Amino acid sequence: MSALRADTLVEYAAVAARDPAVRAQAVVACLARIEQWQPRINAFRRLDAPEHAADGALAGAPLAHKDMFYRAGRVSACGSALRRDWVAAETAAVLERLDAAGATTLGTLNMTEFAYGPTGQSETFGDVRNPWNTAFITGGSSSGSAAAVAARLVYGALGSDTGGSVRLPASVCGVTGLKPTWGRVSRRGTLPLSHSLDTVGPIARTAADCALLFDVIASPDAGDPQNSPLPPADYPAVAAGGVGGLRVGWSPALFAHCDGDVAAPVEQALAALRAAGVEVVEVEAPDIDGLSAHCMTVMQAEASALHGNWMRTRAADYESGTRARLQAGYAIPATVYVDALRHRTPALERFQARTLARTDAFALPTVPVRVPMLAETLPGAGADMARKLGDLTRYTRWVNYLGVPAISVPCGVDGRGLPVGLQLVGRPFAEGTLLALAHAYQQLTDWHRRQPVLL
């Protein structure tokens, strides 16, 4: 893609608008990079024959998506042997919209089985490897999406985020990922995991790229009963509109709980936001661990209910980690599940009234610990493994419980050279504000421009 002189989706769109011949060149360039990188990182599940690019905001832009967005007549394995040959009968609303905007879909991307796990491992289709160092995890569950974008195999990818599955792999792979407000993006034709928490969001190189993709997929859809009728903004315009007058809150206590080489880059990112004209102030932190516990209760109960028939008849066909997570959900009392849902409204209002009372967004690390090696997170890796896995999503799950939007942007590297992400959490439907803050940050820094090297 360097031959195109377009490292980002926005740059590609500008070049392709002037010269339509660039569309075919971009596909060829991406396919060449896939041929180079796929043996090392296993990001792709399947390559599809590129279809003729249509005109539109994404005319010809090479994309690929997590293998859980259905396309009629094609297999969506959803990372599982249980759906290895399952052919979708409908096309996901988000794919319909990207198609209409002219995007070229190169194929489907590997993922954690049924989007239920934080590491990106797959016993069924092989582990996705981190492009920055293949000994380390990518984060999950949108593992292939983040790895493919980081390695410049595609300009952008869709992921899903139920407890951090867009932001976590985006952070760990050094790219930008947006988790929208619950209900903002249609989930029609996508694999469900936990209907109260599931969201669909873009992963791309920059916040401006995410804004372009989000602008295409974020619009009301009567086909998804939980989709919000609120009109979307002009996200690219809002993202580029500046951050004058915006305030970001942070809580030092949450940084104190992080690995030191993770906290330091995120604190430097706050300094960069100040330099961009954002007022950064200390605020009261939300009860992250309490909210995360409620998130887990809801997610486990809903996911286990969804998988009940297969868990009764084909439990052995699940990967070991997925099966273990699903088993736990059947022991959650129904009244506890309902109370966890009932508590969401007061929890959201408390977050608004306390943490965001004087600010537009709340900043914290996306992942509070340094990126673990793959071997540290495999089944049987030791007694400490469960805690390590829990740490990965400790700073993301609470956001899904509150239903609010959040974005992760690359802001440095940890002591082992793996990427670190700054997470910004906003008010309901304030994706534009988050994109503007992230874009302003990326105007002053170059972490989003750094690329992994093929060794």
Partner 1 sequence: MTPLTPAAVSGALAAQGIEIAPGRAERIARALAPLLAAVVADAQSLAFDLEAPDFAAALARNASAVR
Pairing of strands 406-413, 419-426: antiparallel
Q: Would you say 277 or 290 has its CB closer to partner 1?
A: 290
Q: What is the nearest approach in angstroms of partner 1 to the Cβ of residue 345?
A: 4
Catalytic (active site) residue 145: no
Q: Which of 66, 122, 143, 145 is catalytic?
A: 66
Q: Which helix (H) or strand (E) holds 66?
A: strand 62-66
Nearest partner of 441 among 191, 152, 91, 206, judged by Cα: 206
DSSP letter string, 330-380: TTS-HHHHHHHHHTHHHHHHHIIIIITSS-SEEEEESSSSPPPBHHHHSTT
Q: Which of 76, 122, 143, 165 is catalytic?
A: 165
Q: Which of 80, 122, 141, 196 is catalytic?
A: 141
Q: Would you say 47 or 310 has its CB closer to partner 1?
A: 310
Catalytic (active site) residue 142: no
Q: Would you say 97 or 325 has its CB closer to partner 1?
A: 325
Q: What is the nearest approach in angstroms of partner 1 to the Cβ of residue 244?
A: 12
Contacts of residue 411, defined as CB under 8 A and 6 or more positions apart, other chains included, come to 265, 266, 268, 269, 272, 420, 421, 422, 441, 445, 447
Q: Would you say 1 or 276 has its CB closer to partner 1?
A: 276
Q: Would you say 129 or 184 has its CB closer to partner 1?
A: 184
Helices (H), 240-357: 252-256, 260-275, 288-306, 308-313, 320-329, 334-342, 344-350
Nearest partner of 284 among 327, 310, 249, judged by Cα: 249
Q: Would you say 191 or 239 has its CB closer to partner 1?
A: 239
Contact in structure between 145 and 157 (CB atoms under 8 Å) = yes
Helices (H), 179-251: 207-217, 235-239
Q: What is the nearest approach in angstroms of partner 1 to the Cβ of residue 2?
A: 35
Q: Would you say 145 or 292 has its CB closer to partner 1?
A: 292
Q: What is the nearest approach in angstroms of partner 1 to the Cβ of residue 185?
A: 14
> What DSSP character marks residue 188?
T
Q: What is the rounded distance in angstroms from the CA atom of residue 379 to the CA atom of residue 89?
A: 35
Q: What is the rounded distance in angstroms from the CA atom of residue 216 to the CA atom of residue 276?
A: 28
Catalytic (active site) residue 388: no
Length of the chain: 455
Helical packing angle, 334-342 and 288-306, nearest 10°: 130
Chain contacts with partner 1 (rule: CB under 8 A): 181-183, 196, 226, 228, 230, 232-233, 235, 238, 290, 293-294, 296-297, 300, 308, 311-312, 315, 324, 327-328, 330-333, 336, 338-349, 352, 360, 386, 403, 426-433
Q: What is the nearest approach in angstroms of partner 1 to the Cβ of residue 247?
A: 12
Query: What type of residue is 73?
Result: G
Q: What is the nearest approach in angstroms of partner 1 to the Cβ of residue 317?
A: 14
Beta pairing partners, 235: none
Q: What is the nearest approach in angstroms of partner 1 to the Cβ of residue 101?
A: 20
Nearest partner of 180 among 159, 208, 194, 195, judged by Cα: 159
* The two structure tokens encoding residue 72: 């009629």
Active site residues: 66, 141, 165
